[in-house]
Amino acid sequence: MTTATLDRTETLIAGITLRVVDAGRVGAFYREVIGLEELARDGTETVLGAGGVPLLTLLSDPAAQEAPAGSAGLFHTAFLLPSRHDLGLWLRKAAGRGVALDGASDHLVSEAIYLADPEGNGIEVYADRPRETWNHEDGQVVMATKHLDLRALAEASPGPLPEAAPAGTVIGHVHLKVGDVAEAERFWTGVAGLAVSARYAGAAVFLGRGGYHHHLAANAWQSRGAGRRPDGVRGLVSVAFDAALEGPVADPWGNRAVPR
């Protein structure tokens, strides 16, 4: 079965920057567990990516405080692998290393595995199903959260385990925590020209371009009513967009978007 992998001309998210206390430990996690390679290091910044393409920047700040409970910010960064086979290989490697997972879901349009880095930044590693299998109702992409059979996924992906994430790995989407979903929808459709691909009962919205199921999502599951996140705390610093932005912008909760 083929997959619906995005190439660099179809992606929206060019990269993400996180503020971390222990850049050495966090960087090692993204190298050893996610499979990213270190591309550059300059002072307080470490850049990691796949296939020579930068995806993640870690900004070292040993004095950074943890954001208050219920704050807006990053829900997860979603790394899109080129194929289901690649996802199965990644799963086998993670299992062999004893990596703790937070969950796994069949979203109909994709298969996804969830975990967190050592400082609690959420991560999704996923592969898309072929676009021709995606269903639509009332102009929205049909997604769900169903059980994902990890054993079957692993058994369907034989072969040697890779040393690193395969070339073609991208940030397929970024999922944000916000204080108000409707306000987030107005903001991100306005500044980035995104279209709503799905809504979940006022608790989450999924937005994308070019018919993709989502490049950006926002939810208030843990952050309803949150105000602006304090500056300088751990976690999300900015998301770099392959889109027409009039310079850096920030939503009402301090989630920043910057031009690539």
Domain boundaries, the chain: 13-259
- Quote the pLDDT of residue 3: 45
Per-residue pLDDT of the chain (260 residues; tens, 9 = 90+): 344 444 443 678 999 999 999 999 999 999 999 999 999 999 999 999 999 999 999 999 999 999 999 999 999 999 999 999 999 999 999 999 999 999 999 999 999 999 999 999 999 999 999 999 999 999 999 999 999 999 999 999 999 999 999 999 999 999 999 999 999 999 999 988 899 999 987 799 999 999 999 999 999 999 999 999 999 999 999 999 987 677 899 999 999 999 98
What residues are paired with 15 via a beta bridge? 240
Sign of the torsion angle spanned by Cα atoms 78, 84, 85, 89: positive
Q: Which residue has the tokens 């969950």?
A: 103
What is the C-alpha to C-alpha distance for residues 36 and 72, in angstroms, rounded to an integer? 26
Q: Are strands 140-141 and 195-200 parallel, antiparallel or unpaired?
A: unpaired
State the amino acid at position 198 in one-letter form: A
Do 224 and 178 form a contact (C-beta atoms < 8 A)? no
146-147 and 103-106 strand pairing? antiparallel
Distance between CA atoms of residues 105 and 156, nearest Å? 17
The torsion angles phi and psi of 216, rounded to 5 degrees, stand at: -140, 140
Structure tokens at 215: 């490049």
Q: Which residues are 217's β-sheet partners?
A: 175, 206
Residue 248: both structure tokens together: 């850096």
pLDDT confidence of residue 193: 84
* CATH number of this structure's domain 13-259: 3.10.180.10
C-alpha 79/C-alpha 55 separation (Å) is: 9
Q: Quote the Cα angle for 110-140-187, to 5°.
A: 95
